Amino acid sequence: MNEPTALAVDDLYVSYGAISALRGISLNVPAGAIVTLIGGNGAGKTTTLQTLSGLVRAKSGRIHFLGEDITALAPHEIVARGLCHVPEGRMVFPQLTVDENLSMGAYLRKNAAAVAQTRDTVFTLFPRLKERLRQSAGTLSGGEQQMLAIGRALMSAPKFLMLDEPSLGIAPRLISTIFEKIVEINRSQGVAILLVEQNAKLALEISTHAYVLETGHIAMQGPSPTLRNDAQLKAAYLGG
């Protein structure tokens, strides 16, 4: 991974009271890359993304995004710099329409023409959202809500996307569609992506590099094709 670095995490420690959630993790996401973070329940994957997006404060360590130290920034300041988080469970606004949810994603942007252009890009990626524009988000299927959550994030014109368990709670027939769209966003828009995903097989197929998180520390890392063939990782995460 010799490309310029979009996101650099150095020796990050996070605690919830007396409980250590992250214990000195370091990782890098090159500009324009898809990097995945895999691990079991309770490994610290969601905490990692919440800390990177400013929702949880680090006890120690540094986070640099596009060369700037963002460790102490507020969540809205981090979004304004182009780092956007699509949380686990999608967290769409259920009472608002699809259209209103998308507008919420663009709340920091002032250029109406640029926002309209981004909206068209979202509809090209996810035509189903345009079909359901006036529908309440809470009435969408799980897969449609995931499309909306990603589309809402894209409305902020991100330079970097963090996706937390995008396959969770989605019908199997739609999972491959969601992952195809993640790759398309990365390739067509040059958006770097940090992907947290329990479906390790899929995550390793679309990423270039992977980190394996176990009980708050990085247990293994390397190029995704190498880890796909690692016997220990296959036994733990890929079904042998």
Domains of the chain: 5-237 (3.40.50.300)
Q: What is the pTM of this model?
A: 0.90
Cα of 204 vs its chain's centroid, Å: 15
Look at residue 238 in the predicted model and tell me its pLDDT: 66
User: Is there a contact between 196 and 46 (Cβ–Cβ < 8 Å)?
Assistant: yes
205 contacts: CB under 8 Å, gap ≥ 6:
179, 224, 228
Give the full edge-to-edge strand order of the sheet including 5-16.
19-30, 5-16, 60-65, 68-69
Look at residue 239 in the predicted model and tell me its pLDDT: 57
Look at residue 2 in the predicted model and tell me its pLDDT: 56
Query: CA-to-CA distance for 69 and 130, rounded, in angstroms?
Result: 38
Query: CA-to-CA distance for 185 and 93, rounded, in angstroms?
Result: 23
3-class state of residue 168 by DSSP:
coil
Look at residue 240 in the predicted model and tell me its pLDDT: 47
User: 138's torsion region: left (phi>0), alpha (psi -120 to 50) or beta?
Assistant: alpha
Query: CA-to-CA distance for 160 and 33, rounded, in angstroms?
Result: 10
The pLDDT tens digits for 108-164 are 788 899 999 999 999 999 999 999 999 999 999 888 898 899 999 999 999 999 999
Query: CA-to-CA distance for 62 and 15, rounded, in angstroms?
Result: 15
234 contacts: CB under 8 Å, gap ≥ 6:
228, 240
Where the chain has pLDDT below 50, the residues are 1, 240
Query: Any bridge partners for residue 221, and if so which?
Result: 211
Look at residue 235 in the predicted model and tell me its pLDDT: 75
3-class state of residue 42 by DSSP:
coil
